[in-house]
Amino acid sequence: MQPWKILALLSIPTALALTSGCAVISENECQAGLWYERGIEDGARGRSQATVYEIAQKCHEYGVRTDTTAWMRGHEEGVEQYCTPENGFVVGRRGRDYEGVCTGPTADLFIANYERGLAVYQAEQQYAALANRYEDAEREVYRIERAMDDAESKEELRALRSQRRSLLREMRHLEAEMMRFGGFGAFNPLLFY
């Protein structure tokens, strides 16, 4: 393989990371023409076959013809790397979307493990939301306690105490909720496998 093709091939993962969420493919990537390699990369990332049509459309804007046949061959190889049970769990655990690329006997195992990983991810997100709310309530209690020291009337002090009690009740409730996730201050992912 020519050195410029090797360099272009090595730059694809970096370029994909930089362009994800922006353009589907850059003009330089279109010009490089590494369609088989690009197909492997896209398949290994779990991207659907619809990706090649987005690539073709973008490259057409740059005046470059896409070899969709080579991309599809590479994509098939990449999907085989992607559709493992282990990767299913990893993809779900990271909260990534699944584009339905797995077929055949590996699909069921991939999906089962993806759903397990996704359950852990979602539980962790719920726990983080509870912990954030707890910290907010804790800061508010601290603010109220300082305001109580400066209260100018019994009515103001009574209102602040009422707010403080309400926040402390909420914090106890949040602590109890966090216990469902492994404990206060410690998310335990093993509870969700």
pLDDT digits (tens, 9 = 90+) for 87-134: 999 999 999 999 999 998 889 999 999 999 999 999 999 999 999 999
pLDDT band at 179 (very low <50, low <70, confident <90, very high): confident
For helices 105-149 and 154-179, what crossing angle results, to 10°?
Answer: 160
Query: Which tokens sit at 117?
Result: 């990983």
pLDDT at 158: 93
End-to-end CA distance of the chain: 45
What is the Cα–Cα distance from 5 to 47, expressed in whole angstroms? 23
For 34-73, the pLDDT digits (tens) are 999 999 999 999 999 999 999 999 999 999 999 999 999 9
pTM of the entire predicted model: 0.71
85-120 as b/e: b if 16+ CB within 10 A: bebbbebbbeeeebeebbeeebeeebbebbebbbeb
Mean pLDDT confidence for 17-31? 68
pLDDT at 10: 37
Mean pLDDT for the chain overall: 86
